[in-house]
Amino acid sequence: MDSTVSIDKENSLLRKDPVKMIKQGFEWLRRRELIMLIAAASVFAALWAFLELADEVNEQETMEIDKMILIALRNPADYSDPLGPGWIEEMFRDFTALGSFGVLVLITVATCVYLLLLNRGRTALFAIAAISGGWLVSHSLKIAYDRSRPDLVPHEAIVYTASFPSGHAMMSAVTYLTLAALLSRAISPWRLKVFFLASALFLTILVGASRVYLGVHWPTDVVAGWTLGAAWAGLCWLIERWLQQKGVVEPAPQLLSADETLPRRSGR
């Protein structure tokens, strides 16, 4: 009973003292393994890269390289014709759909159902909250920066929103990388962890590249979407690890060492 009162009192003090809360957060990071510190540093680095790039875009200092890359992907004799045969253009339209709102919702729902089948309902709820939060950040930044779409070449896909950052690139990173990180924490075989993370990274790059090829985004829009999306996914991964430590989210399964085997049923 006394311990419960003590914990409640400590939590109340933390709410009143944000500095102490921040210090405890850094102390928690320090006690975790090296990968946690690397992940935290990567999140800050990606966020810094986004802010630096956003500053360059605001000052129009990236326009020359943006134009050069867009033109390089077009037929020099006809800017309305992307490089390559017609089937390549159609294939890139298919690739860009992998970052569309509808497809990402379906993939998120399917992954959450899979997590529910693994009896990881709280992890599924966290995934929905993390991806929804990423969408709100992406949409808010588009309104804030309000960058015009490229008018240098004809668009090969219908667009509705502002250009910076690329919503497809950012939400692909947010969705695929976050889901891959959560799935990798829900399973034990390391080969599956690598597969999930590598597939998420590949799909994120593919979607972003397709937006530039189709002429609907400046290259810097896509790079900004990648960096901010990766930062968001990394932050969500760190938060999920912290929630697992607190018992709010289901713990990760224990890995078996090389000399350990699963117990066998004794048959008679």
Would you tell me how many other CB atoms lie within 10 Å of the CB of residue 199? 12
The verdict on pTM exceeding 0.85 is no
The encoded tokens of residue 58 equal: 């605001």
Q: What is the pLDDT of residues 173-186, one digit of tens each?
A: 999 999 998 888 77
pLDDT, position 3: 46
Amino acid at 34: L
Rounded (10°) CA dihedral 174, 65, 150, 47:
20
The encoded tokens of residue 208 equal: 């972003």
Beta-carbon contacts of residue 111 (< 8 Å; ≥ 6 apart): 124, 127, 179, 182, 183
pLDDT, position 13: 46
pLDDT, position 129: 95
pLDDT tens digits for the chain (268 residues)?
444 444 454 455 445 566 666 666 656 555 556 677 777 888 999 999 999 999 998 888 888 999 899 888 887 877 777 888 888 889 999 999 999 999 999 999 999 999 999 888 999 999 999 999 999 999 999 999 888 888 877 665 667 777 889 989 999 999 999 999 888 877 777 888 889 999 999 999 999 999 999 888 899 999 999 999 999 999 998 898 888 888 888 787 654 333 333 344 444 3
The rounded distance, in Å, linking the Cα atoms of 95 and 97 is 5
pLDDT, position 262: 39
Q: What is the pLDDT of residues 141-151, one digit of tens each?
A: 999 988 888 88
Question: Does residue 231 contact residue 43 with C-beta atoms inside 8 Å?
Answer: yes
Question: Does residue 96 contact residue 207 with C-beta atoms inside 8 Å?
Answer: yes
Give the C-alpha distances (Å, rounded to integers) separating 142 from 74, 134, 167: 26, 12, 8
The encoded tokens of residue 198 equal: 């590598």
Q: 107: phi > 0 → left, psi -120 to 50 → alpha, else beta; which?
A: alpha
The rounded distance, in Å, linking the Cα atoms of 233 and 118 is 22
Helical (H) or strand (E) element with 80: strand 78-82
The rounded distance, in Å, linking the Cα atoms of 182 and 196 is 10
Amino acid at 169: A
pLDDT, position 147: 85
Question: Does residue 174 contact residue 233 with C-beta atoms inside 8 Å?
Answer: yes
Q: What are the φ/ψ torsions at residue 98 (nearest 5 degrees)?
A: -65, -15
Give the C-alpha distances (Å, rounded to integers) separating 189 from 74, 146, 198, 251: 44, 44, 15, 15
Residues in the chain: 268
pLDDT, position 122: 92
pLDDT, position 44: 92
Amino acid at 102: G
